[in-house]
């Protein structure tokens, strides 16, 4: 018996020694969370990249956006997956993830990128604003990320993730509206992966159905993974237009899952699994679409409305003044050149007053 426990101790020691050099992170380094002592403010202690450059997500606001005509529509290939090669749905303790077949690709990003996985980020039922990217400071309800790796340069996603131009992520903003049957192909199975580490096969489906309308309109920038280890290797494409899911669908996402294992005595709900927006100094976001101004006098700030109103008023006054002047000139020319002269100074004053 003592020999056996000695053996066990030796094995433990060996394991401990073996773990140390291969993972600079502490043994429980993968324990990162979104709140509490292991929350995002602490990520960079264990994962230095999280405190480094090119971090994501970011707020997409007018000051940093630049229209770029060279941003062509992306082409999604191998997206029409039949139901028989099934997808694997996993609860990894941070999100719910669908492993994607490698023959699914996205073209139009320079290199060829093959698919790796997709997953979601969301809020909670009391504060359902859990998208990672924000637009003009506003959160959407949730966000879908489809992750690819550069298959021209690297053999697989785990090899590519910390390499230059290793990854590309396509992001879909999700808002509450009408029900979206495509998303049920994931959401219907959430109950089967309630706890961390659980995995089920789900029927394959066309990932393209998850994308919004007009996918040719998107934001593009260079950023990072939004979860540890936060490698700054991601070419981001965030679609301009959100997709809608219903309140009931969002509720499933917000209430069905746990970050913890099934037998954990202190279960933690999987909610608010989004990273806060990061500093975006001296970077630009390219946009594939022209910022078409809103139709006049709708959805504009009071300041702009006032300026437009003033400009319109001024314009009308000028047009009126000119018309009156022309009319009077015509009248006066009918009446004769001599009388016309009398009117001129008065009219000149009127036009000057409004100019
Ligand atoms: C790692 O986690 C396990 C289980 O959660 C715990 O028993 C152990 O004490 C932790 N070790 C360290 C070094 O934090
Ligand atoms: C447009 O984007 C490409 C990369 O997609 C970049 O090389 C180019 O400099 C950008 N053009 C402008 C005018 O910003
Ligand atoms: C997708 O594949 C199915 C079966 O292979 C086929 O019937 C269907 O027409 C395809 N749809 C598209 C949009 O290519
Ligand atoms: C990427 O997808 C293409 C097309 O299906 C395939 O031919 C290629 O082998 C894939 N690359 C890798 C590295 O798996
Ligand atoms: C990824 O590719 C690297 C380099 O070829 C290889 O060592 C590693 O085993 C591969 N990983 C997976 C998960 O296939």
Atom of ligand 3 nearest to the CA of 206: 1
Q: From ligand 4's centre to the CA of 152, what distance in Å?
A: 9
Testing ligand 5's pocket by substitution, the residue of 159, 161, 166 carrying the most ligand atoms inside 8 A of its CB is 159
Q: From ligand 4's centre to the CA of 112, what distance in Å?
A: 9
Annotated catalytic residues are 94
Greatest Cα pair distance, the chain, in angstroms, is 130
Atom of ligand 2 nearest to the CA of 70: 1
CB of 28 sitting under 6 A from ligand 1: yes
Closest residue CA from atom 12 of ligand 2? 68
Closest residue CA from atom 13 of ligand 2? 68
Residues of the chain with pLDDT under 70: 1-30, 79-84, 292-309, 311-313, 315, 317, 331-355
CB of 159 sitting under 6 A from ligand 5: yes
Whether the CB-CB separation of 140 and 174 falls below 8 Å is answered with yes
| Paired strand residues for 170 | 146, 237
Pairing verdict, β 87-91 and 142-150? unpaired
CB of 83 sitting under 6 A from ligand 3: no
CB of 137 sitting under 6 A from ligand 5: no
Closest residue CA from atom 10 of ligand 3? 80
CB of 82 sitting under 6 A from ligand 3: yes
In 3-state terms, what secondary structure has residue 243?
strand
Taking the CA of 101 as reference, the closest ligand is 4
Q: What pLDDT score was predicted for residue 291?
A: 74
Does the predicted TM-score (pTM) go above 0.85?
no
One DSSP character per residue, 74-118 reads: PEEES----SSSPEEEEE-SSSEEEE--TT-EEEEESEEEEEEEE
Q: From ligand 5's centre to the CA of 154, what distance in Å?
A: 9
Closest residue CA from atom 10 of ligand 2? 68
| Paired strand residues for 65 | 285
CB of 4 sitting under 6 A from ligand 2: no
Q: What pLDDT score was predicted for residue 173?
A: 98
CB of 114 sitting under 6 A from ligand 4: yes
The Cα 234–Cα 160 span in angstroms is 10
Q: What pLDDT score was predicted for residue 103?
A: 84
């Amino acid at each position: 018996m003592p020999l056996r426990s000695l053996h066990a101790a030796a094995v433990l020691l060996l394991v401990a020694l073996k773990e140390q050099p291969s993972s600079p992170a502490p043994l429980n380094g993968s324990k990162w969370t979104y709140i509490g002592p292991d929350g995002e403010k602490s990520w960079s202690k264990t994962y230095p990249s999280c405190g480094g450059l090119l971090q994501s997500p970011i707020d997409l606001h007018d000051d940093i956006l630049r229209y770029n005509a060279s941003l062509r529509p992306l082409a999604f290939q191998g997206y029409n997956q039949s139901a028989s090669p099934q997808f694997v749905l996993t609860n990894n303790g941070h999100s719910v993830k669908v492993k994607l077949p490698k023959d699914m690709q996205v073209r139009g990003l320079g290199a060829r990128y093959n698919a790796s996985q997709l997953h979601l980020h969301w809020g909670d039922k009391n504060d359902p604003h859990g998208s990672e990217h924000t637009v003009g400071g506003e959160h959407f309800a949730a966000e879908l990320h489809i992750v690819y790796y550069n298959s021209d340069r690297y053999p697989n996603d785990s090899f590519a993730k910390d390499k230059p131009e290793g990854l590309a992520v396509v992001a879909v903003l999700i808002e509450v509206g009408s029900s979206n049957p495509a998303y049920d192909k994931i959401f219907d199975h959430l109950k089967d992966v309630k706890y961390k580490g659980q995995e089920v096969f789900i029927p394959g489906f066309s990932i393209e159905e998850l994308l919004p309308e007009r996918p040719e309109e998107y934001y593009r920038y260079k950023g990072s993974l939004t979860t540890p280890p936060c490698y700054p290797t991601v070419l981001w494409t965030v679609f301009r237009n959100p997709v809608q899911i219903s309140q009931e669908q969002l509720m499933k996402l917000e209430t069905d899952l746990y970050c913890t294992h099934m037998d954990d005595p202190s279960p933690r709900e999987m909610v608010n699994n989004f990273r806060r927006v990061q500093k975006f100094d001296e970077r630009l976001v390219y946009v594939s679409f022209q910022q078409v101004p809103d139709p006049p006098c709708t959805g504009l700030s009071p300041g702009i409305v006032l300026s437009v109103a003033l400009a319109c008023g001024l314009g009308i006054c000028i047009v009126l003044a000119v018309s009156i002047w022309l009319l009077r000139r015509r009248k006066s020319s009918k009446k004769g050149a001599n009388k016309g002269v009398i009117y001129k100074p008065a009219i000149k004053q009127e036009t000057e007053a409004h100019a």
